[in-house]
């Protein structure tokens, strides 16, 4: 903090006045010290006034912005309702276009919901039920395909004041969301034989790698870790690693390393603070293996907010 120059009549200070023969600079210094003492004294004697927390919009933002809201199924309405209350308490300049009728049991996502998301560019969505072993296709997968939501981002970190086994945990997990098993490409070859396809492309592998490194660069992150199973899926995950290595060369200021998913889970439980930004391909087993070890040391629940690009 720079010098504090406050000029008051000498009679207001509870102390001796500077000698009249003191130089101007010394008089300024003495006045400054006495003014600081008075300010500190008054600060601790005056009761602190409480004020409401308000949302400060960026310069130029005046009109409230629309946000698409899908409460969803199960506990989805509870989660989204809590967010609505928080936004209201913050006086955030937004309003919700709510679609309460959307359910995971529907055959497809209604066109008006898709149009609302495309128009608003922001959507708050609760969990949607997915039929198990039959029934309609997942609306979550339909949304990813329709809107090309290729990047799922989750930030796991320690909460201040909440004691956990591990400290200094701040991990960002970025998952490719449009390919792999979650794409739902499967068919019955002959009766009793079903084939599921895990399609990996160079384009999507490079795209998710660029997203991870660009995120790390813009957010002052130091390291990107690629999680894979290339020791078994040598072609599919091998292509993913090849793309990550090519992109990593364009970001020399960011460290890059690779880790097999099995070892990754053990390291997450033993020493999670070693990870910074993690990226991996969409796979059925990867979220099941990675998310619980991440959630546990950070003190956050599995169901949370997820940003998608």
* 52 band by pLDDT with thresholds 50, 70 and 90: very low
Over residues 26-30, the mean pLDDT reads: 67
Nearest to 244 by CA among 208, 292, 191, 215: 208
Using the 8-state DSSP alphabet, how is residue 7 labeled? -
Angle at 25 between CA 23 and CA 26, to 5 degrees: 65
* β-bridge partners, 118: none
- Given a cut of 60, whether residue 159 has pLDDT beyond it is yes
* 34 band by pLDDT with thresholds 50, 70 and 90: low
- C-alpha 172/C-alpha 276 separation (Å) is 6
Could you read off the pLDDT of 261-305 as tens digits, one per residue? 889 988 988 999 999 999 887 654 555 455 555 555 444 434 444
- C-alpha 187/C-alpha 9 separation (Å) is 89
- Given a cut of 50, whether residue 49 has pLDDT beyond it is no
- C-alpha 174/C-alpha 190 separation (Å) is 37
Contacts of 110 (CB under 8 A, 6+ apart): 99, 101, 102
For 39-99, give the secondary structure using H, E and C: HHHHHHHCCCCCCCCCCCCCCCCCCCEEEEEECCCCCHHHHHHHHHHHHHHHCCCEEEEEC
User: How many CB atoms lie under 10 A from the CB of residue 257?
Assistant: 11
- C-alpha 47/C-alpha 159 separation (Å) is 29
Tell me the CATH class for 150-309: alpha beta
* β-bridge partners, 156: 171
Assessment of whether the complete model's pTM goes beyond 0.75 = no
- C-alpha 22/C-alpha 33 separation (Å) is 15
Given the structure tokens 């101007």, which residue do they identify? 24
Strand order through the sheet with 277-280: 255-260, 223-228, 277-280, 170-176, 151-157, 307-308
């Amino acid at each position: 903090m720079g010098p504090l120059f406050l000029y008051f009549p000498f009679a207001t200070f509870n102390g001796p006045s500077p000698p009249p023969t003191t130089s101007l600079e010394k008089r300024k210094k003495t006045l400054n010290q006495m003014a600081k003492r008075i300010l500190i004294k008054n600060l601790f004697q005056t009761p602190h006034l409480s004020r409401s927390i308000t949302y400060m919009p960026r310069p130029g933002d005046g009109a409230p912005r629309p946000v698409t809201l899908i409460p969803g199924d199960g506990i989805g309405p509870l989660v989204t309702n809590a967010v609505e209350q928080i936004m209201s308490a913050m006086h955030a300049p937004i309003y919700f276009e709510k679609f309460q009728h959307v359910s995971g049991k529907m055959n497809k996502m209604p066109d008006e919901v898709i149009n609302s998301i495309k128009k608003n560019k922001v959507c708050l969505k609760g969990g949607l039920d997915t039929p198990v072993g039959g029934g309609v296709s997942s609306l979550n997968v339909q949304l990813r395909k329709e809107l090309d939501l290729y990047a799922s981002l989750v930030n796991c970190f320690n909460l201040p004041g909440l004691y956990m086994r591990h400290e200094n945990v701040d991990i960002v997990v970025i998952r490719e969301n449009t390919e792999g098993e979650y794409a739902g490409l499967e068919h019955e070859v002959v009766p009793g034989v079903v084939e599921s396809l895990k399609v990996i492309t160079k384009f999507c592998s490079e795209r998710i790698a660029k997203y991870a490194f660009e995120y790390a660069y813009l957010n002052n992150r130091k390291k990107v870790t690629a999680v894979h199973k290339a020791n078994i899926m040598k072609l599919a995950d091998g292509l993913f690693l090849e793309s990550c290595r090519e992109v990593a060369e364009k970001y020399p200021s960011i460290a890059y390393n690779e880790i097999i998913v099995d070892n990754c889970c053990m390291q997450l439980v033993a020493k999670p603070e070693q990870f910074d930004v993690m990226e991996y391909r969409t796979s059925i087993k990867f979220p099941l293996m990675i998310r619980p070890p991440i959630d546990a040391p950070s003190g956050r629940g599995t169901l949370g907010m997820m940003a998608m690009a």
